Amino acid sequence: MEQREHLAIRIVPVMGADGMAGDQWLLQARDPLEPDILGSLYAAHLHATSVKGNTARKELESAAVLLSWAAANAPDLCLQLARGHPPTLTQCRAFFSWLKARSGIGRTAIAPAAAGTVNATLRGARRFSRWAVSEGNAGDADAMARALEAHGKVWRQIKPLDVAKEEVAEDLEDAEIREIETFLAHAAASGGADSRVAARDYLMWRMPIEYGLRIGRSSRCVSRTCRPGHRIG
């Protein structure tokens, strides 16, 4: 399996007076080991606005990805955002291309989970940069409105990846279930040359009917019948 490089910016917990990690974080550069000021201010903002712990961490993960890209590819981006200037379209496009490449998209088929993760990171990065632009224009409502409008205009041109929807088979009607049950039961009891195979088929049918069957983590199963990727029971 291909190993991705560590992000240049990582999330670290803030240690309490008792030496235990609390529910606050800061963003820290790996080399040199020092806090990322803008990212850590964003972490403080999330904590101050009572964003729940898991949600705050996901938001910081997206910010860390954007800041890590900027560290290597757009070193002036942090200062640009802190001054209230939105990222340029060129910067956003370059970041999105880097994000897709880091996720393996372009070298392999796009799995729905990978596309969903990329899109979630893209949305989180957009929220982080919007917050930074807003803070950079605090105290000047007109300037803030103009900057946020420009920010939205740029990011709207970065289209998220299409996420394939999983197809779900139609439910069987009760009459159809009874028909299958009758056919399999009669075949199993026929005593013919294929009755052992028919008995196996009937047993496989009865097990999910009686006990339920779940196939795959991502199944969206609503049928009571034995269909691939469906839950029975």
Residues 21 and 116 in one domain: yes
Cβ-proximal residues to 19 (8 Å cutoff; 6+ apart), any chain: none
* CA-to-CA separations, 180 to 86, 186, 187, in angstroms, rounded: 62, 10, 11
Q: Is 9 exposed, middle or buried (0-12, 13-18, 19+ CB in 10 A)?
A: buried
What's the total number of domains in the chain?
2
Cβ-proximal residues to 106 (8 Å cutoff; 6+ apart), any chain: 100
Residues 18 and 86 in one domain: yes
> What pLDDT does residue 226 have?
43
Give percent of the chain with pLDDT exceeding 90.
40
Q: From edge to edge, which strands make up the β-sheet containing 34-35?
A: 9-15, 21-29, 34-35
Model confidence at 224, pLDDT cuts 50, 70, 90, reads very low
Q: What's the CA gap between 233 and 224, in Å, rounded? A: 5
Cβ-proximal residues to 36 (8 Å cutoff; 6+ apart), any chain: 9, 26, 27, 28, 29, 67, 78
> What pLDDT does residue 3 have?
46
> What pLDDT does residue 178 have?
80
Q: Is residue 129 part of a domain?
A: yes
Residues 35 and 106 in one domain: yes
pLDDT digits (tens, 9 = 90+) for 150-193: 999 999 999 998 876 655 556 667 777 788 888 888 888 877 76
Q: Domain residues for 65?
A: 9-155
Residues 67 and 117 in one domain: yes
Residues 139 and 197 in one domain: no
Q: Is residue 176 part of a domain?
A: yes
Q: Which residue has the higher pLDDT, 155 or 206?
A: 155
Bond prior to 32 in cis (omega within 30° of 0): yes
Token pair of 168 as six digits? 């779900």
> What pLDDT does residue 121 have?
95
Q: What is the pTM of this model?
A: 0.66
Residues 233 and 122 in one domain: no
Model confidence at 138, pLDDT cuts 50, 70, 90, reads very high
